[in-house]
Structure 1
Amino acid sequence: MSRISWSDMYSIDDEELDGHHRQLIAYIQLLEDPIEREKRTPEALQGIVDGLVEYTDYHFRAEETRMRDLDYPEYEQHKALHVSFIKDITIFKDDFAKASPTLAATLLTYLKDWLITHILNNDMHFGDFMKSLGDDARGIETGTDEHISPV
């Protein structure tokens, strides 16, 4: 799989949640660059992975808050996907820094595949739902304004 980068095709037409998706992609970009990986200490890599896990949790909480506030009918199914992924990346977090290059590449492929598939399918459905509500969906904030940067 090629390097991950933001594309407008991933946009769900929500500035806040699209911004979160861009941040998640930025974390993965930091991990997937093999030259940069070689320059980083295991501790630095672990810090990036920890940041990815923390930001993923933050994003999921914000997205789920919005879903609840809008009475999104697929909320429970969507949240179950988030819970499952958090379990997976928690295991990933513990293994990544000490992983062989082959295992690290496999883990990164999983992260990229999951994120892109989730955005293009599940999050896009939520974006369509918000669009169907019109301006009513745009007026609801998640109540989170913290910004966590991967840099």
Structure 2
Amino acid sequence: MQDDEVFEFAPRYEIGDARIDAEHRHLFSIARRVQAALSLPADAALAEARLAVAELLDYTRTHFAGEEVMMAATGYPDLVGHQALHRELLYQVRDMEMRIDLEGLSASLDLAHFLFNWLTQHILHADRRFGEFLADSR
């Protein structure tokens, strides 16, 4: 992610399931809030980044749980591996949340970069495989 790159959901991130794609769009919008916070004055930026990270953690837990229920219901063969990826992200975002409290804006910038890279790569690879599995199952 370049500093001037906008965190936008694009058609290449669609996996073919309307609900999951809508949830991914929402995750992108939360991540955009972290990115936008970086252009605010320091105190406001930190406060907005903290709010966005809290929302991200809450929404991500809900999204992951729903995605995993869908995977289990459809017999997705890589459910366990996918769950491990989800747990790792939650761990890393919680770690970033603590870093924001300790380090401030530099951690917020790291979080924005991390989110962009993780979310896009996770969707393009792991979630795309699940989308292909769903399409083949129908």
TM-score (norm 2): 0.88
Cα separation, partners in 2 of 1:14 and 1:127, compared to 1, 3 Å: same
Amino acid at match of 1:119: I
Query: How far 1:40 moved relative to its partner?
Result: 2.5
Structure 1 vs Structure 2: percent identity of aligned residues? 25
- Which runs of structure 2 are paired with 1:1-151 in the superposition (5 Å)? 1=1, 2-33=5-36, 34-36=38-40, 38=42, 40=44, 42-134=46-138
Which has more helix, going by share of residues? Answer: 2
Amino acid at match of 2:134: M
Q: Residues 44-98 of structure 1, C-alpha deviation per residue, up to 9 Å, x if partnerless?
A: 4322210011001110000000000001001000101101111111111222255
- The RMSD of aligned alpha carbons is 1.7
2 CA distance for matches of 1:55 and 1:79? Answer: 16
2 CA distance for matches of 1:10 and 1:90? Answer: 24
1 CA distance for matches of 2:80 and 2:105? Answer: 36
Q: Is the 8 A contact 1:13 1:127 kept in 2?
A: yes
Q: Is the 8 A contact 1:37 1:45 kept in 2?
A: no
Q: Is the 8 A contact 1:10 1:119 kept in 2?
A: yes
Q: Is the 8 A contact 2:42 2:105 kept in 1?
A: no
2 CA distance for matches of 1:36 and 1:25? Answer: 19
Q: 3-12 or 87-96, which moves further after superposition? A: 87-96
Q: Is the 8 A contact 1:43 1:97 kept in 2?
A: no
Amino acid at match of 1:78: H
When the two structures are aligned, how many residues end up with a matched partner?
134
